[in-house]
Structure 1
């Protein structure tokens, strides 16, 4: 049996079109040099036919250059008996294959160009090679001012051409601010706007929003929308909880954070609040809040509170918190100090098995009524 080939979209790679670009570029480095021949009539008498006057060295594009000025040049055409001025630019450095453009000019008294020769690009193959015009201008047509001649030479060195990748414009980064959802929900709780359920705790009433409570707590979800739905949905009475603890519970449900007073380290009131809030978190299955309270109790553990915290850990199945309490009471001396606190009496009454475990650990089996 033959099978026709099947094509799966998952087996085919999907490529987003990407556009790149490059450009062919040639860097150009330009520079000019002005060369003045003062006392021109006397200077040219000292220069024979075929000789030249040379300028000082100037630098363009990393190379040295000079200007050659020939005051008495004769053309190759034997029929032309007039003499000419020769003007050249010379590569004065030991370099090879230097490509350049040049522009040679004679300037008048206002430094305006009256005659020029330009060419390029040309190649200066080695140091000492020069390019220009041997019949630049007739000597008879020279116009001098104060017996001074001015030459200007402009050289443009061409670097090796290359292809470069065009830079893609950088897209400015946009940083989003931190989430402020919790702030809006806190404001909603504080204002009571849109509240559709009321709780009565120790005579204090709290307005809240059923959808928020149900989204955060499975117990509230069952109480407000499930089969356990309260008959009186307008006001639900909460038993066995302090109003301050319920207020802190609502604060966490709306803001995902504990009240500011619980952030203070080594504070007895914050420890008590953490103990009560741990019990409330377990009651409404707020696992994150329960762990936060366990962490706070571990950090603020002391002789006065460790016994009540140990009882709380046993009652709400907080194994790690229980282990931390037992580790805190790690010596007979510490156990004796804890036994003198009011919390130890609470531990004896509420969790006798934990007390027995603790006494057996230190061999105090005879201590039954400590």
Structure 2
């Protein structure tokens, strides 16, 4: 870390102003260089089947993101260099996104799976580097070792367990920025506007519109609803607005779901799902999130829709994944749909999911999704049988012929 100081003086004062005893105003700035760190674990199942795929052929991890760049790990079961005659396994980390002169520190670790923690580590971290961090010039640039470990020793070591290797990669992307002096420190609290509006809702004061939902009455403020939802704005203030705001009937929605929707509009946060439905179970929470996502889409509340989508991605389970997938298809939730398809297609999940009532609903309501699911299942089957012998499939080459695996969605 270096500090650069700039001084200024009144040029009209002449050389006398340079007298050390004179009071010269000084400003300072600091250049800060540090690393943004992250790690990724890559499991290589079926190591014995990957042998013989050929020198220079590799299996690659999924891409992962650290410091604003995409990375991938490349494992060469027969080595990367023909001169070693497949005597060594090779291990490299590659830049998998566009970027020039990306400076970084790396650490590649072959994990000891015996519990003794005698890992095989090659690291830039924690030691002086004569030439500084390693620089990757372009997409596909690599750092690693052609002779990472001798193959005969690897196959009798504690690094290989149940025909599986576990590789950990740490990346520290070098970032620099300059800071000027701070002449003040004022602690600014986070926004609490949601709490103020939430308390307004809880107070029940000055409400001017009522909604009847499944036999229950929910009172609200028209101007708040209109400010948050274009659908409510049209319903309450548009040319085709409801004339009777004393009691607007909401069809096809259960009362707890509508209450959760109103709660979000005021508080800008999800309510306690289990408390709202009166059931302390993950299944009930998932069911509420499903209904609330549909309600958010109905009232054009994009942030609420994404919050529900994120919650459902976290809570994917055998007994609810099929209905969640149908919901994702019906409401164009692309990421949620991908998560559900990948979960169902796993060999250990597929049969159990197909026996649920939700799967029957999925087949009836979204038959096109079944075709996509079959493609995911077939893809899993291919990977489990021939991934190691075709480790370079689905890879894009950069201008220098190096290949980088793309994320599968």
Q: TM-score, normalised by structure 2?
A: 0.46
Q: Which has the higher Rg, Structure 1 or Structure 2?
A: 1
| Offset, 1:201 | 0.5
What is the rounded CA distance, in whole Å, between the counterparts of 2:9 and 2:183 in structure 1? 16
| Offset, 1:332 | 4.2
**Secondary structure, in 3 states, of the residue corresponding to 2:211?**
strand
What is the rounded CA distance, in whole Å, between the counterparts of 1:161 and 1:310 in structure 2? 75
Partner of 2:254: 242
Task: Please show how residues 105-120 of structure 1 align to structure 2 within 5 Å.
Answer: none
| Offset, 1:355 | 2.4
Whether contact under 8 Å (2:322, 2:362) holds in the other structure is yes
Task: Please show how residues 75-154 of structure 1 align to structure 2 within 5 Å.
Answer: none
| Alignment match of 1:162 (pick from 18, 21, 33) | 21
Partner of 2:315: 300
| Offset, 1:342 | 1.9
**Which structure exhibits the higher relative contact order, with contacts defined as CA atoms closer than 8 Å and separated by 6 or more residues?**
2
Whether contact under 8 Å (2:344, 2:350) holds in the other structure is yes
| Alignment match of 2:298 (pick from 257, 274, 283) | 283
Change (3 A) 1:344 1:174: same
| Offset, 1:175 | 2.5
| Offset, 1:216 | 0.5
Whether contact under 8 Å (1:278, 1:290) holds in the other structure is yes
Partner of 1:46: none
What is the rounded CA distance, in whole Å, between the counterparts of 1:336 and 1:166 in structure 2? 76
Cα deviation, 1:175-212, whole Å, max 9, x if unaligned, reads 33222211110011111111110001111111101111
What is the rounded CA distance, in whole Å, between the counterparts of 1:166 and 1:357 in structure 2? 69
Change (3 A) 1:19 1:248: farther
Please provide the CA RMSD for this pair.
Answer: 3.0
Pairing 1:329–2:358 present: no
Partner of 2:135: none
What is the rounded CA distance, in whole Å, between the counterparts of 1:362 and 1:164 in structure 2? 77
In the alignment of these two chains, the number of paired residues is 206
Whether contact under 8 Å (2:328, 2:337) holds in the other structure is yes
Partner of 2:186: 174
Whether contact under 8 Å (2:341, 2:376) holds in the other structure is no
Change (3 A) 1:172 1:353: closer
| Offset, 1:348 | 2.0
| Offset, 1:171 | 6.3
Unaligned runs of 5+ in 1: 1-17, 21-159, 364-370
Cα deviation, 1:267-322, whole Å, max 9, x if unaligned, reads 22211111010000000000111111111111110111110100001111112211
**Secondary structure, in 3 states, of the residue corresponding to 2:210?**
strand
| Offset, 1:361 | 5.0
Whether contact under 8 Å (1:265, 1:300) holds in the other structure is no
Pairing 1:342–2:357 present: yes
What is the rounded CA distance, in whole Å, between the counterparts of 1:348 and 1:251 in structure 2? 34
**Secondary structure, in 3 states, of the residue corresponding to 2:345?**
coil
| Offset, 1:358 | 2.4
Partner of 1:272: 287
Task: Please show how residues 185-224 of structure 1 align to structure 2 within 5 Å.
Answer: 185-224=197-236
Partner of 2:273: 261
**Secondary structure, in 3 states, of the residue corresponding to 1:325?**
helix
| Alignment match of 2:325 (pick from 286, 290, 310) | 310
What is the rounded CA distance, in whole Å, between the counterparts of 1:204 and 1:293 in structure 2? 24
Q: TM-score, normalised by structure 1?
A: 0.51
Displaced runs of 4+ in structure 1, greater than 6 A? 262-266
**Secondary structure, in 3 states, of the residue corresponding to 2:23?**
strand
| Offset, 1:360 | 5.8
Partner of 1:251: 263
Change (3 A) 1:243 1:266: closer
Unaligned runs of 5+ in 2: 1-7, 11-18, 28-181, 379-409
